[in-house]
Chain A
Amino acid sequence: GEDVEQSLFLSVREGDSSVINCTYTDSSSTYLYWYKQEPGAGLQLLTYIFSNMDMKQDQRLTVLLNKKDKHLSLRIADTQTGDSAIYFCAERYPGGYNKLIFGAGTRLAVHP
């Protein structure tokens, strides 16, 4: 089936770490993505991970993948007010050519 689930809201204090979680259903997905959407804007690719990897780090971002549990997480270190946005998890659907299935998004609110 096609279903990606995320928690809807996360609030963190500036300077703390944020962890956004996602579960997906298709174990044969090859790539998993994190996109960021700011108000009134399109989606910006943050990072992606290939399914044969457990972890990927890119500056303040760390992606963890647990294939057994079909769980993906995005950790943002030293969260800043500019990180406030909606974060979407997406899986590349194995049944289509580069078709992405998105979760509903997690709204991250960063407060002082």
Chain B
Amino acid sequence: AQSVTQLDSQVPVFEEAPVELRCNYSSSVSVYLFWYVQYPNQGLQLLLKYLSGSTLVKGINGFEAEFNKSQTSFHLRKPSVHISDTAEYFCAVSDPSGNTPLVFGKGTRLSVIA
């Protein structure tokens, strides 16, 4: 069975500072990996995805993530955060064999401080 661990439940960071949100997964097979963002009282929006190919993937709003198979990690980074990045961030994994449900981590609350 697949699982996702987001190591930090809350990450406060000052505006314009860099941030890294950590995600580790466990799976006995190859995986697809995703980061979603949830702004307050809204649905989930796809930030970026890793399906295959280059291990460094770039997403929307200046975010990027690196797939590290040996460390089973998919950490999310942004070099300079804005107040508007304050949100809940979810890492998710799925089986690439078909359209299977996503298995989510418990989320990381990013709070950007002015």
A complexed with B: no
Interface residues of B (CB under 8 A from A): none
Interface residues of A (CB under 8 A from B): none
